[in-house]
Structure 1
Amino acid sequence: MENNNGTSHNNNKRIPFLVFFKDARLIFKLDALSREILGIAFPAALAVVADPIASLIDTTFIGHLGPVELAAAGVAIALFNQASRITIFPLVSITTSFVAEEDTIQNMNTKKTENDDTKLKQATVSKDHMVPDIENVEAPKQVTDESNNVVAKIVTGSMDTNNENEKVMTKRKQKVGKKIIASASTALLFGTILGLLQTAILSFAAKPLLYAMGLKHDSPMLDPAEKYLRLRSIGSPAVLLSLAMQGIFRGFKDTTTPLYVIVSGYAFNVLLDPILIFYMKLGLKGAAMAHIISQYLMATTLLLLLMRRVHLLPPSMKDLQIFRFLKNGGLLLIRVVSVTFCMTLAASLAARLGPIPMAAFQPGLQIWLASSLLADGLAVAVQTILASSFAEKDYKKATAAATRTLQMTFVLGIGLSFAVAVGLYFGAGIFSKNVTVVQLIKISMPFVAATQPINALAFVFDGVNYGANDFAYSAYSLARWELGQDHGTILEKDYDVIRDVMKKE
């Protein structure tokens, strides 16, 4: 293989595609590893896909207001999502890896402490058996008062030792319960700051940003899109805090708790949509208000649940990993900008074509996101398992988890292709009554469906890199790919992450 400069790579840099076939017979076997992967991936996937599904339902309700309202909401949502992803994905990805690593190390230290306590207790019991029963031993008459004092000191010393041991074990037991995870506190701090910053930017610069999206000053979409964007931006702090807390729970390998909260919150959103949009006749404003209320409800609930497990305030400000977050967050920021640039550019081009093409583009984009993000559940699983395995230096498990997850992902991608193709073709009519909009949605179907396997593998490769704390390469590779530079080398490097793990077995 040759790169753009015409130089060839070494033979040892060939892509090991055989990784997809290593222990492939175990793909459908529900062993301990598969149960762990699916136990994390399935709730995580449902939680991640809940947002696009809720947006899709919002889109369905808004679509019945008319094509102009649907197109205006599409432009505003695309812009809001662009701003959110720039901050969300770096924050959540870094938080998951750092919390998983920190929690694993803390659990290992706790087990070591418990073992030390057991040994200390056994040593204390053994020492107690060695102390004579002074009350039942009749002292010889030759024993002087001085000897009695010596014996009394020995017995008292033994009792003092027992008391000290009891105090030590009590203190250690008191430490078990709420955890002190510095990464969790740092994530919440960054989530709050970034959320407030996003609200300020989207509120005060709504119109210029919409102009940048391709809307003109005389466009019928401009006014409703501006009002929708400014109102929805109020929910930005809640969105970022909710996702930061999801990252914390993922680091604990608990994806079920956030799932219950998120599904409940978005169900409330769907319930509010027809009430606020149609019954109270608020239109687009009602759709934005329903989203805001549900987001703050979810953020509050997750915060209360998290407070039961983690001390949100660290012992000292020095414990906050601010510079570590900033360094790796800056690297992932490059990656996210590269990813979202394409989607934002596509939305901008659709908006320039007019309300009808934009109205057809929005449902296709939401379905593409919803189906693609199902693979993010597997990415979360492999990320947390790899981060924990590296902390425990269990490289054999890291290798098995990476290969098994990639195999599952490929199967999932093929299945999603068929599901999206059938669903989008026969269900296009639910998004609009306009015949032209429905026809354009059907035309987009092959592109949305065919990219599912590629999207799924891309998500999981990111999870592998994040689990190995290789944020720098993840950012570098995607930026080069977007610029069209040396795609072969990038694929090789992706597989090299797995190869390096294999060598450590």
Structure 2
Amino acid sequence: MTIAADAPAANPASLRRITALALPALVVLAAEPLYILVDTAVVGHLGRVPLAALALGGGVMSVAAWIGNVLAYGTTGRVARRFGAGQRAEAVAEGVQGSWLAVIGGLLMIAVVEIFAGPLSRALAGGPGAVATAAEQWLRIGVLGAPFLLLAMAGQGWMRGVQDTRRPMYIVLAASVGSAILAPILVYPAGMGLVGSAVANVAAQLVSGSLFIRALVSEGVSLRPQWSVIRRQLGLSRDLIIRGGTFQLCFISAAAVAARFGAASLAAHQIGLQLWFFAALALDAVAIAAQALIGAELGGGSAQRARDTARRIGWIGLGYGTAFAVAVLAGAPFLPGLFSSDATVHEQAAVLWPWFIGLLPIAGLVFALDGVFIGAGDTAFMRNMTIVAALFGFLPLIWLTYGFGWGLGGIWAGLSAFMLLRLVALLLRQRGGKWAVVGAER
């Protein structure tokens, strides 16, 4: 494919159109981390050991989440290009193949985690003990929902590609609200403790995955695997998998270092990290709109319109992130108490709070531009940029923090360096315009 010449009268997607796609996507993106925040609050009141165990088990299960995001983001771009070219049936067929990848990936994850849950939990906890034992117990149950989690993410991907963000909203809300009610019942009245948290997670994933399968069947397309399409999707996903693996290496390293400063530090890091993930996914609503719109505009042959839309989306992301920072700042005195009654945990949380709030405007812009380039299929750049930011920003500061005992402040300084390096690279790429490649496929 080639980069199209500038069109003299190309108009970017309107704010109304961006908002119409972003608001339902916001509900979907916020529902899962909001449920995790509820789960964190429920488990947090069991004590610091269960909360620390949830941090480690949830960190491992976040691998399934990033695989799911790879499926969703890769599928969205390919589906959106075909949708923009007027090929809806072919667009949905891409979603079928993405769903087959989800099933295969989920079953592989179950096998790997069930084999290595014990050694992995002990390694992350810094050795055997109460935290490692509880984390292993949670993980062995929680991983059973992985295939359904990945099916739900693949389903969101193809629906976003055809610019349908309402059905995913209803499906994810149904699953998340039900499990948010179930979790405290299982943990406390049912007396299951931390195990109840894992069972509630699996229940949410089972419901959402099954509903997305039903939606795919209702489209009336063939559900047979097409290995040639799957191979092309894997080729596109390769760069996103490497990118996602880099994220996971960073965040698992951060959890491992936080664990070595004690259970209180790890518990506070879990609170801050889950709030960060919640904010990141909420801010990603603009990126979801960007993926669908940029992919459709390039699929329809309009490179100039895609570039104009990218600039508008960047400004919207910056404004959204700033508004989110103001809202979080207003709630700063109260939020840590929602997740733990331990005074030592509160003291540790206060260390990372200024970093968290200060990063939100930057995150709004970074995540919006991420959506632009993923929608354009510019995955090689996304891979390389993330690796460079991790190797020269996040990871050096994480391990220097471990060596010099800088605590949670050092860990979150690493996250700040990571985000700033990504911001610079994204802005330079946007100005260049080489990412705007037109056609039904890239």
Normalising by the residue count of structure 2, what TM-score does the alignment of the two structures yield?
0.85
Deviation at 1:498, TM superposition (A): 4.1
- Measure the CA separation in 2 of the matches of 1:385 and 1:487: 22
Residues 1:480 and 2:392 aligned together: no
Letter in 1 for 2:223: L
- Provide the residue aligned with 1:212 in structure 2: 123
Q: Is the 8 A contact 1:261 1:301 kept in 2?
A: yes
Residues 1:329 and 2:237 aligned together: yes
Letter in 2 for 1:235: G
| 2:64 aligns with one of 68, 84, 89 | 84
Aligned length: 402
- Provide the residue aligned with 1:270 in structure 2: 180
Counterpart of 1:353 in 2: which secondary structure?
coil
Structure 1 unaligned residues grouped into runs of 5+: 1-25, 111-177
Deviation at 1:491, TM superposition (A): 4.5
Q: Is the 8 A contact 1:425 1:442 kept in 2?
A: no
What do the CA deviations read for 1:71-127 (whole angstroms, capped 9, x no partner)? 11111111211x2144222211110011111223244xx8xxxxxxxxxxxxxxxxx
Counterpart of 1:221 in 2: which secondary structure?
helix
Q: Is the 8 A contact 1:214 1:349 kept in 2?
A: no
Residues 1:494 and 2:429 aligned together: yes
| 1:453 aligns with one of 361, 365, 390 | 361
Deviation at 1:502, TM superposition (A): 11
Deviation at 1:493, TM superposition (A): 4.1
- Measure the CA separation in 2 of the matches of 1:487 and 1:260: 33
Structure 2 unaligned residues grouped into runs of 5+: 1-10, 394-420
- Provide the residue aligned with 2:136 in structure 1: 226
Residues 1:243 and 2:159 aligned together: no
| 2:314 aligns with one of 406, 410, 414 | 406
- Provide the residue aligned with 1:58 in structure 2: 39
Which runs of at least 4 in structure 1 moved beyond 6 Å after TM superposition?
A: 485-489
Residues 1:185 and 2:96 aligned together: yes
Structure 1 pair 298–488 and aligned structure 2 pair: CA distance change class (3 A): closer
- Provide the residue aligned with 2:350 in structure 1: 442
Normalising by the residue count of structure 1, what TM-score does the alignment of the two structures yield?
0.75
What do the CA deviations read for 1:460-502 (whole angstroms, capped 9, x no partner)? 2211111221111111121122222998983464224547659
Structure 1 pair 208–254 and aligned structure 2 pair: CA distance change class (3 A): same
Structure 1 pair 401–448 and aligned structure 2 pair: CA distance change class (3 A): same
Identity of aligned residues (%): 29
| 1:261 aligns with one of 168, 171, 175 | 171
- Provide the residue aligned with 1:70 in structure 2: 51
- Measure the CA separation in 2 of the matches of 1:346 and 1:255: 33
| 1:105 aligns with one of 73, 81, 85 | 85
Letter in 2 for 1:102: R
| 2:341 aligns with one of 433, 455, 472 | 433
Letter in 2 for 1:404: R
- Measure the CA separation in 1 of the matches of 2:90 and 2:381: 31
Deviation at 1:233, TM superposition (A): 0.4
Q: Is the 8 A contact 2:369 2:426 kept in 1?
A: no
Residues 1:252 and 2:162 aligned together: yes
- Provide the residue aligned with 2:288 in structure 1: 380
Q: Is the 8 A contact 2:322 2:364 kept in 1?
A: no
- Provide the residue aligned with 1:151 in structure 2: none
Counterpart of 1:80 in 2: which secondary structure?
helix
Aligned alpha-carbon RMSD (Å)? 2.5
- Measure the CA separation in 2 of the matches of 1:249 and 1:298: 14
What do the CA deviations read for 1:197-250 (whole angstroms, capped 9, x no partner)? 111111110112123313311x22111110001100000011001101010111
Structure 1 pair 353–37 and aligned structure 2 pair: CA distance change class (3 A): same
- Measure the CA separation in 2 of the matches of 1:427 and 1:332: 33
- Measure the CA separation in 2 of the matches of 1:325 and 1:479: 21
Structure 1 pair 377–458 and aligned structure 2 pair: CA distance change class (3 A): same
Residues 1:35 and 2:16 aligned together: yes
Deviation at 1:271, TM superposition (A): 0.9
What do the CA deviations read for 1:176-196 (whole angstroms, capped 9, x no partner)? xx7673311210110000001
